[in-house]
Structure 1
Amino acid sequence: MKKSIFMIAIFAITMFSSTEMLAQNFPKIDVSPMDAASFPENWRDSNKLVKVIYSRPQLKGRTLDKLAPKDKVWRTGANEAAEITFYKDVTFGDKAVKAGTYTLFTIPTDSDWTFILSNQKNVWGSYFYDKAEDVVRVTGKVTKSKDSIEAFSIVFEGEEESATMHLGWGSTIVSVPVKG
């Protein structure tokens, strides 16, 4: 009987300590959490045209120019560079693009932004951006938002096989059409 109680106690201590060790390995919540935007937006519609996976940095009193510098290649979000998947052949901006997954980079300017689809995959930031891997470059139209957008966001709007992707941050909104 004493042996059984002793074994149960050892087992309980072992389970408690191993559970505690596992819990200590979980990282803190990312301050720029990952998000996804897709078109069509409805989760029940599995016949998607496009989906973007990106991280959402916050302004936190900083300027857009500080976080997405003008005239420099930007990862289009935070952490890993954004990835965009087209589920069928599309026209992105004014260029034909084959179905597939690409890394989405942008180059911000005052008047317009350049959208870059790259064959590079699993890229952290834009530190290792390689122009030789570009698939297409298109121009996005810049407009101003009446309200400030604290967290970088991507949304789609449209109908059937025709959508517009909008990137919004601070008072800037950049748009590019996507057509199936």
Structure 2
Amino acid sequence: MRLALLPALALVAGPLAAQQRVSKDASAAGGAFVVRLGSDTVAVERYARIGNRVEGDVVNRAPTVRVTHYVVELDPAGRVTRAQFASRRPDGSLVPNTAKSATISFRGDSAYSEILTAADTTVRLAARVPAGTVPGLANSYAMQELALMQLRASRAPSGSLSQYSAGAQGVNPLKVTIAGNRATLDYFGDPIVMTTDAAGRLLAVDGTASTNKIVVERVATVDVPTLATAFAARGNMGQTSPRDTVRAAAAGAQLWIDYGRPSVRGRTVWGGLLVPYNAVWRTGANAATQLSTSADLMIGGATVPAGKYTLWTYAAPDGYQLVVNKQTGQWGTEYKADQDLVRIPLTAAPLASPVEQFTFAIDPTPDGGTIRMLWGDKQLSVPFVVKK
């Protein structure tokens, strides 16, 4: 089924019961999760399950602090039949540019969304989804736990995890392999390891070997209202890896580099968790880093014709290389070595003061300039000359 507007139906109820909170006591039928990115807590969740109903709250800090209250209904086999969501600021006010509420109904091979917009209009959409799909909600590991319980109940050694977000055109199933109390999620070629107990409850998630480097810990409970208020008092985190563009005019050439800016967050950068050795790094975050030049360049002695490219970095204990790749417009996990134009040695130097957020700089000179990358305790650089 393609994405389609549904026939007009009666308007669904508004926000869920004024953001009701689940009990602070997380019993054996519920629990709580703390989600960290490096040293930063980026989300917390508390939920309770009573019979075939799961109710909970997720506090997300990025890009703005919001509390999402959800109610999920299950059939006797543990499959989701209906889910309701409503997001608010910690003070109860509406989140700017966000729907007031959303409802997803799962029937057969389809998911039906009803979204109440900030303008009090209702949008209804439908999409085809696989059996066993669970609602998609940012940093809700109670939802992933529901999916894992279904997979374990099937006793199959592998399966897929599908999450559907209200209004989406479909899902992107991710393969899951189960061995004992470990379930390994194939996250675009990298593993995310989920640990469960004998009952299938999610105990921990380790994404540090993937590009989604979160770490999730199950705890007895969290005080959602108190933490939400405390997070709001600290101010919004903004995007965890915001996009930026550095531009320069150098010797008659116009250059720009578009890239994502991840932060250190207490982690080891070079040769560590963020830029491991003997691997190609996307040189930023999220979408692949792009270079545009209006003129032919000699970068570190290698010819790079005018045009657009993606930039990657090969890191090794004995040095670093800038990889100029001919493929453009792709996500940062889609590196194709057969599209490499050239690999260019980079000069590494220590920084007097550490740089928390990854930064590109282009320093023009009369005949060209220098491209610099600064992050953590190190700078990588390479000179370039504009060809005449």
Give the structure-1-normalised TM-score. Answer: 0.78
Deviation at 1:138, TM superposition (A): 0.5
1:50 touches 1:86 (CA, 8 Å); kept in 2? Answer: yes
Are 2:339 and 1:133 aligned?
yes
Deviation at 1:111, TM superposition (A): 4.2
Which of structures 1 and 2 has the bigger CA Rg?
Answer: 2
Deviation at 1:15, TM superposition (A): 8.8
Task: Please give the root-mean-square deviation of Cα atoms over the aligned residues, in Å.
Answer: 2.6
Measured in 1, the distance between the counterparts of 2:249 and 2:353 equals 25
Deviation at 1:114, TM superposition (A): 0.7
Are 2:253 and 1:34 aligned?
no
Cross-structure match for 1:84: 291
Are 2:285 and 1:109 aligned?
no
Measured in 2, the distance between the counterparts of 1:111 and 1:51 equals 29
Are 2:281 and 1:74 aligned?
yes
Query: Per-residue CA shift, 1:121-154, capped at 9, x if unaligned?
Result: 22212x3311110111110100000101000000
Q: Are the structure 2 counterparts of residues 18 and 179 from structure 1 closer, same or farther at C-alpha, using a change threshold of 3 Å?
A: farther
Q: How many residue pairs were aligned? A: 157
Measured in 1, the distance between the counterparts of 2:267 and 2:335 equals 24
Cross-structure match for 2:331: 124
Q: For structure 1, which runs of at least 5 residues remain unmatched after alignment?
A: 1-13, 42-46
Cross-structure match for 1:149: 355
Cross-structure match for 1:60: 265
| Structure with the higher fraction of residues in helix conformation | 1
Q: Percent identity?
A: 29
Higher RCO (CA 8 Å, separation ≥ 6 residues):
1
Give the structure-2-normalised TM-score. Answer: 0.38
Deviation at 1:30, TM superposition (A): 2.3
Q: Which residue identity lines up with residue 348 of structure 2 in the other structure?
A: V
Pick from 119, 134, 156: which aligns with 1:16? 119
Q: Which residue identity lines up with residue 268 of structure 2 in the other structure?
A: T
Cross-structure match for 1:3: none
1:108 partner SS: strand
